[in-house]
Amino acid sequence: MKTKTYPNGTVESYSYDDNGNYVKTVTDPAGNTVTTITDEVGNVISYKDGKGYETKYEYDQHNQLTKVIDAKLNETSYEYDGSGNKTAIIDAKGHISRYEYNGKNLLTQYTDQLGKSTLIDYDLNGNRTKVVSPSGDVITYAYDKLNQLTDVYVNGIKQWSYTYDQNGNIKTATDSQGRSKTYDYYDNGLLKQVVDGNHTINYGYAGNDFLSSINVTVGSSTLSLGFTPNELNQLETLTRNGQLLATFGYNSLGAIESITRGNGTTTNKTFDQANRLKTLTNKLANGTELNSYTYHYDQNNNIETIVTNHGTVSYQYDELNQLVRETLLDGTVINYEYDSVGNRTKKIVTKDGNSTTTSYSYNAANQLTEVNGQAYQYDDNGNLTNDGERTYIYDAFNQLVEVRDASGQWIAKFTYDDSGKRTSMTTANGTVYFHYHQDKVIYETDENDHIIAEYTWDDEGHPVKMTKNGQTYYYHLNGHGDVVALTDNNGNVVAEYEYDAWGNILHQTGPLASENPYRYAGYRYDEETGLYYLLARYYNPNNGNFLSVDPYPGDLDNPISQNRYVYANSNPVMFVDPDGKTAVVVGVYFIPGIGEVALLATGAVVLGGITYKAGSWLGQKVRDYVFSKKTPIPSKLKNGDRVKTVFCKQKVALTYIW
């Protein structure tokens, strides 16, 4: 046996078993050990986690994964054609999804577990030209001779058109009403300016392409955000119109360990020997403790208990790391049960000796069809259309566009841009328009094009400050990224929140509690609908699932990720889903042969102070490692280098992605 010890205290041991398989054990600095066994060609055939629970993997003669047997002995199987294309997934309940391909191995038909099919056509260059959804909507795509998307049609009506500069960057994006958004870039390709009608956003950069300023002009109104780096190119100070909003301090691994806000309030964090978040304390300007959290973990690095200044919250997990029990601050105990594919089947709430049970039923496609006898209905595309209380209406891109109450009266209406981001919300109180930097709202306007709210964000994607009605309010978070309090410019507490593990709001107090839109995990909460908006789709915390199909198909070696409705792999304590597509544990991971890396909620990865995009070689390697169930060292860490601001050429999202 060979042993290697890394600087952070992680110990790796290598040996061979009697069958000649390679056996590797990894013991993290907290003493948790996982064991991975690979066959002679490098296929992982067994993985034992820190509690000794084993997942097994089987392969065919072409080294293609054919079966995953999880720690509860649930089996998921895969089939392939002669070209190695996946042709079928048979889940643990025996339900089958099927895939068909053309001669170029491009997917031409996907049939879900209910037998509903999506058809896809391509041109000679392999560009996707047509998608026919199960509902019958036809989305077509046109390209120029450089294979750049130029037009998008829905049922023959043009929805979006694009032009490009000589470097292939989007120059204009025009909607069906003829309204255009224009983009300009610096010589190095970084985004310089966005003009959208009466709105102009200019971007400035310092050395190493560090985003140093965002300047917004809306008519005669202006907003200026400033970002200053430290010597390691980490965000150190954040300003609004020259006023200091926050100062950030980091530890040697690039984790934010301290925040000092413009109103004098502070946040301080400590980490244990395994780089897991150990304590988090929020204090008012006078040093009074606002709230505090101390975290304790099990052998799989799941949080077991959180000791707060108001009491203790505890959690228990099953062999698949699914949350099966939580005990709230007031002593309420909630037990959860799941089926073999990760759907919640039962919720039992016990308080003051009295128990209430909620039962859930699902169809073959994992769509929630019944809650305590109340039927749920879906359209052919897999979108929830009625839950007995409300009706939900969607566009051809499966984006929620309207919610109505039981009487048929509309509650809320929504619009979206070409990248799928929500651009407006209309309620009985009027219409609010959302304006973004990347995927974060930085300001809102009303129907008269007046700025009515502003938001700033840290490098981890967490909200820092809200400005509304001329007043500035600061966000205070716990270790999960939940907004637990807001303070005003004088340091007074104006909102406080308590949540369960799934994001249900148990208590909220303060004059700003309802007005603040950002809540659990930093997600945007719509008071009118009770839903969280997670970019790609909407999340219902009461049922613990999404209203629509996940556009990301999941991973073969992680079957629960293939359940396209379940939230956070049924472990909302440790996972977040910032874009509504992929559940991730944001934290530090030890990658053999590479070392410690920080995984951000955006999917980007930080190694040695350098940020790698989600799609880079390192980003993919870390993602593969994480989703092949290797043990994370979860802590809310920030990158050692500010993520470069590069305009993402996100064009209209396809109806489905496999």
Model pLDDT for residues 242-257, shown as the tens digit of each residue: 999 999 999 888 889 9
Phi, psi of 257 (to 5 degrees): -115, -10
Q: Is residue 504 part of a domain?
A: no
pLDDT at 641: 30
Q: Is residue 6 part of a domain?
A: yes
Q: Mind listing the pLDDT tens digit for each residue in 469-482?
A: 999 999 999 999 99
Backbone region of residue 567 per phi and psi (left: phi > 0; alpha: psi in -120 to 50; beta: other values) = beta
Q: CB neighbours (10 Å) of residue 524?
A: 19
Which tokens belong to 616?
């880079």
Say yes or no to pLDDT of 226 above 50: yes
Q: What angle do CA 71, 77, 82 make, to 5 degrees?
A: 145
Q: Is residue 34 part of a domain?
A: yes
d(CA 102, CA 193) in angstroms, rounded, equals 42
User: What percentage of the chain reaches a pLDDT higher than 70?
Assistant: 89
Which tokens belong to 313?
């919250």
Pick the residue with more confidence: 602 or 468?
A: 468
Long-range contacts for 454-458 (Cβ within 8 Å, ≥24 apart)?
454/223, 454/240, 455/518, 456/225, 456/238, 456/240, 456/245, 458/235, 458/238, 458/246, 458/248, 458/256, 458/259, 458/638
Q: Mind listing the pLDDT tens digit for each residue in 372-413?
A: 999 999 999 999 999 999 999 999 999 999 999 999 999 999
pLDDT at 625: 52
pLDDT at 1: 83
pLDDT at 634: 30
What DSSP string runs through 175-188? ETTS-EEEEEE-TT
Q: Is residue 113 part of a domain?
A: no
Q: Is residue 29 part of a domain?
A: yes
pLDDT band with cut points at 50, 70 and 90 for residue 370: very high
d(CA 278, CA 123) in angstroms, rounded, equals 54
pLDDT band with cut points at 50, 70 and 90 for residue 460: confident
pLDDT band with cut points at 50, 70 and 90 for residue 622: low
The whole-model pTM stands at 0.92
Please, what is the average pLDDT of the chain?
A: 91
Q: Is residue 143 part of a domain?
A: no
pLDDT at 624: 53
| Residue 584 near residue 612 (C-beta atoms within 8 A) | no
Q: CB neighbours (10 Å) of residue 576?
A: 24
Domain with 40 in it: 1-58
Q: Is residue 41 part of a domain?
A: yes
Q: Is residue 13 part of a domain?
A: yes
Q: Mind listing the pLDDT tens digit for each residue in 153-165?
A: 999 999 999 999 9
d(CA 386, CA 391) in angstroms, rounded, equals 4
Total domains in the chain come to 1
Pick the residue with more confidence: 594 or 441?
A: 441
Q: Mind listing the pLDDT tens digit for each residue in 38-65?
A: 999 999 999 999 999 999 999 999 999 9
Q: Mind listing the pLDDT tens digit for each residue in 345-366?
A: 999 999 999 999 999 999 999 9
Q: Mind listing the pLDDT tens digit for each residue in 410-455?
A: 999 999 999 999 999 999 999 999 999 999 999 999 999 999 999 9
Q: Which amino acid is at 554?
A: G
For the chain, helix, strand, coil in percent to 5 are: 5, 50, 45
Which tokens belong to 310?
């108001």
Say yes or no to pLDDT of 320 above 90: yes
pLDDT at 612: 46
